[in-house]
Structure 1
Amino acid sequence: MSIYTIADLHLALGIDKPMDVFGGRWSNYMEKLKENWVSNVADNDTVVIPGDVSWATYIESAYDDFKFIEDLPGKKIISKGNHDYWWTTSSKLNKYLEEKNLSTISFMHNNAFQFEGIAVCGTRGWKGPGEDDFKKDDEKIYKREIERLELSIKAALKLKLPRMLVFMHYPPVTAKSPMTGFIDIMKKYNINECYYGHLHGEGIKGAVEGEYEGINLKLVSADYLNFKPFKIK
């Protein structure tokens, strides 16, 4: 059994949202994603999807996208991204999965999961204080997301497993925000692996990868991975 990750699927089966306007790499991206996924992921594997899963605005409009994910091999753990407007309360999300018989999907929000001796936790995150577009209104969201990351890490610690992976949608650090509360929290709990998405196109140039403050960082946005899930273990 293996664990994979890939962020920013940006599925749009229920609405008209062509992604090729963001560059040629996005041409036929859903077909490429399906082909790569089926070729690499087995039914007993797990895939963590840290955000920006569907362009649907409401959960009722997201079914085709969730069915697309459901029909792919493996179990899937989904967390929130900045474009997941369909995201609602945990109870409503879990009820939706039950009603639609989506049995291979789980949602990560202030909680944690376990897989083969590995604890899986994380949160959406937010832009860092050093970013040019960080405004006063962002401060509250930023601090709340730091709290949510800590809640998820604490839930993961209760599992008492030898390895812990953190997944975020936003990068925990960028060239313009060289130190954030997300890094502080991960250092506090001796986290040494973090996978994140959100960055596309020119934004990828600002990605920080490799060891940073003792944490191994890895960008896993779908276009950066050429729509092939990244194998962690």
Structure 2
Amino acid sequence: MSIFAIADLHLALGIDKPMDVFGGRWSNYMEKLKNNWIETVAHTDTVIIPGDVSWATYIENVYEDFRYIEALPGKKIISKGNHDYWWTTSSKLNKYLKEKEFTTISFMHNNSFMAENFSICGTRGWKCPGEDDFKKEDEKIYNREIERLELSIKSSANQEQSERLVFMHYPPVTAKSQSSGFIDVMKKHGITRCFYGHLHGDGIKGAIEGEYEGIELKLISADYLNFVPLPIVSR
């Protein structure tokens, strides 16, 4: 069993939301993603999808996008992004999966999962202090997301893992924020690898990748990966 990751699927099978306005890479992206996924991922594998999964506004509108995901090989662990307006409480999300008989999808929210002998942890994250658009009202959300990351990592304490991996939607640090509480939490718990999405187009140029304060950072937004799930752990 292998572990893959890819963020920012931005599926729009239930609504009219063309993505090619964000660049040529998004032309026919859902078909491209499907073909690449089928060629890359086996049914015994796990794929982490950290946020911006569907453009649907409400959970009632997400069916076609979830059916698309369900039909793809592997188990999928989904966490929240800033455009996942359909996201609701964990109990309602899990009830929806059960009602629609989606058996290959799970949600990560204040919890963690085991994949092979790796603990899968993470949270949405948020913009960080020091960024140009960080305002007073962002501070509460930022602090809450730091707490959610802590909860997720702590929930894996009793799991017999060889490594804990963190997946976030927002980058845990940017060139302008210098550092962040997300980095502090990961260092506190000995996390050495973190994967994130959110950045597209010109924003990709500002991505921090490689080792940062002892943590290996990797951007995994779908367009950056050319819609090919990235292998994290290969067996």
**Deviations 1:33-53, CA, capped at 9 Å, x for gaps:** 000000000000000000000
The match for 1:49 is 49
Partner Cα distance (2:5, 2:80) in 1: 14
Task: Say whether residues 1:132 and 2:132 are aligned partners.
Answer: yes
Task: State whether structure 2 residue 30 is matched by structure 1 residue 30.
Answer: yes
Q: Which residue of 2 aligns with 1:18?
A: 18
Following the alignment from structure 1 to structure 2, what is the Cα–Cα distance between the partners of residues 54 and 9?
Answer: 7
- Aligned partner letter, 2:101: N
Q: Which amino acid aligns with 2:72?
A: L
Amino acid at match of 2:121: C
Distance 1:211 1:225 in 2: 19
In 2, the alpha carbon distance for the partners of 1:36 and 1:77 equals 18
Question: Which sections of structure 1, spanning at least 5 residues, go unmatched?
Answer: none
Q: What is the CA deviation profile of residues 20-72 of structure 1, one whole-angstrom value per residue up to 9, with x for unaligned ones?
A: 00000000000110000000000000000000000000000000000000000
**Corresponding residue of 2:105:** 105
> Which residue number in structure 1 is paired with residue 39 of structure 2?
39
Structure 1 residue 158, shift from structure 2 partner: 2.0
Q: How does 1:64-79 map to 2 (within 5 A)?
A: 64-79=64-79
Deviates more, 1:156-165 or 1:48-57: 156-165
Match of 2:175 in 1: 175
TM-score (norm 2): 0.99
Once residues 17 and 116 of structure 2 are traced to their aligned partners in structure 1, the CA distance between those partners, rounded to angstroms, is 37
- Structure 2: distance between partners of 1:170 and 1:158: 27
For the residues of structure 2 that align with 1:210 and 1:158, how far apart are their CA atoms? 29
Give the aligned partner of residue 187 of structure 2.
187
Looking at structure 2, the residues matched to 76 and 211 of structure 1 have their Cα atoms a distance apart, in angstroms, of 27
**Identity in percent:** 76
In structure 1, distance between residues paired with 2:159 and 2:227: 31
Runs of 4+ in 1 over 3 A off after TM superposition: none
Equivalent residue number for residue 94 of structure 2: 94
**Alignment TM-score, normalising by the size of structure 1:** 0.99
CA distance in 2, matches of 1:34, 1:27: 13
Question: Which string of whole-angstrom CA distances, capped at 9 and with x for unpartnered residues, describes residues 170-208 of structure 1?
Answer: 000011111000000000011000000000000001100
How much is the aligned-residue C-alpha RMSD, in angstroms?
A: 0.5
Cα distance in structure 2, aligned partners of 1:63 and 1:217 = 33
After TM superposition, give the deviation of residue 160 of structure 1 in Å: 3.1
Aligned residue identity for 2:193: E
In 2: Cα distance, 1:158 partner to 1:203 partner: 38
Cα distance in 2 for partners of 1:226, 1:28 equals 12
Distance 1:16 1:63 in 2: 15
